[in-house]
Structure 1
Amino acid sequence: MSQNSSHPPRALKVKLKKARGRTPSQQRWLQRQLNDPYVLRARREGWRSRAAFKLLELDDKFRFLEPGQRIVDLGAAPGGWSQVAARKIGIVDESGAEREKARGKIVGIDLLPIEPMPGAEFIEMDFLDDDAPARLVALLGGPADVVMSDMAANATGHKKTDHLRIMGLAETGAEFARSVLAQGGTYIAKVLRGGTEGALLADLKRDFANVRHFKPPSSRSDSAELFVIAMGYRGEDRVAAEQGDAG
């Protein structure tokens, strides 16, 4: 499968043949899916979702996925990001088959069931559960090198509400990341532009050496979607420094 993240060529538009029983919003969504080149390319290349291209493009830009890493995928369903990560860190080969004696570990967590795949382990639970951090670290065999999140709350159609809901997910994801990341680790999360994303960036800069935001080419042009990339987790170093200042 190609991992080239350039824009795919345009295809002729496909029109819905039957709209009976569908709401206008459902019709618009289906029409967009039928004509989305990344949806078509994901099917052709065997990715579980078009979101796979976003992670490919994020890693092309920031190079945070490396062989042998331990990775947590928050809100992992249907598994597209775990699928990309398994290949990037060398757990599976180009065909998607698991390599013998592969190093690294991926654990995906979601409230929804996820179809099993080579190279990743999925658990059905809420990452906000009190025992979730300890359970995930145990499954990984140690602290995580990367915590990544493509989570999004169900859209309401009200921009401010949708922005605040997804920012809440990104903020709680960041708190979770702090509890499981190894020093030097990376946190990636989806956000929406809307006015409060700056506060999240400022908060992450306290704990991470390098904090950026980026809109991958495969993110729809009419979407307010961005991704926050926080690299170089300071971990206990920052806590020790703050305690020293307080003393």
Structure 2
Amino acid sequence: MLEICVDTLAGAYAAFKGGAGRIELCSALSEGGLTPSAGLMQAAAALPVPVYAMIRPRAGLFLFSEAETEIMLADIAAARAAGLAGVVLGVQQADGALDAARLATLKAAAGDLGTTLHRVIDVVPDPLAALDQAIELGFSRVLTSGAEPLAPDGVGLIAKMVHRAAGRISVMPGCGLTADNIASVLRATGATEAHAACSGKVAGDPAFSDFDPPGGRFETREADVRAMVAAMQAA
């Protein structure tokens, strides 16, 4: 199973046509992925593969206020109303640990929607303890780079997480994965699904102000998705 993160409808269709089995729908991937608009959720729901909406109201780490939690609850309701298959969540406490109580509230709002715990697990003090909490909360999977900037560098911890999960939750490596390295990461970790962007930089249009992200705008490439799917199948 390859999950592709996208922030446009064109990207979602490119991911599907390339063979992705699931789509993580975001806005602002340049900021690590924020909550997509209600309109984008509704449009992406027509795709014949599961679509999960990122529920993240702002950039930065994941200590959210009560007001931001209310926004997240409303966004979960919007994802459900749009007909999406699931949501992607993550909240931490002031001490950096996973906020199990607030996550339980969000999980309850999600109801029967699928749920992924995002890379908040990479910035908590004890990722293995957070994995246990995710299992207790009933998450479908966790997305992780193994507490390293890139998943290929975090395969040691990812393998420990897969072993500890023992089939109770899926551990999904993500960040820095390509068709060239995905096979080695899957073999090293024992993971059976992966998360990637499969995108390339698009030249910005000149304007009186910089409307593109500082690093340039990226778009999902069907050919890159197809190549990664083939590499995973070979692995």
Question: Higher relative contact order by CA 8 Å / sep ≥ 6: 1 or 2?
Answer: 2
What is the TM-score of this pair, normalised by structure 1?
Answer: 0.35
What is the TM-score of this pair, normalised by structure 2?
Answer: 0.36
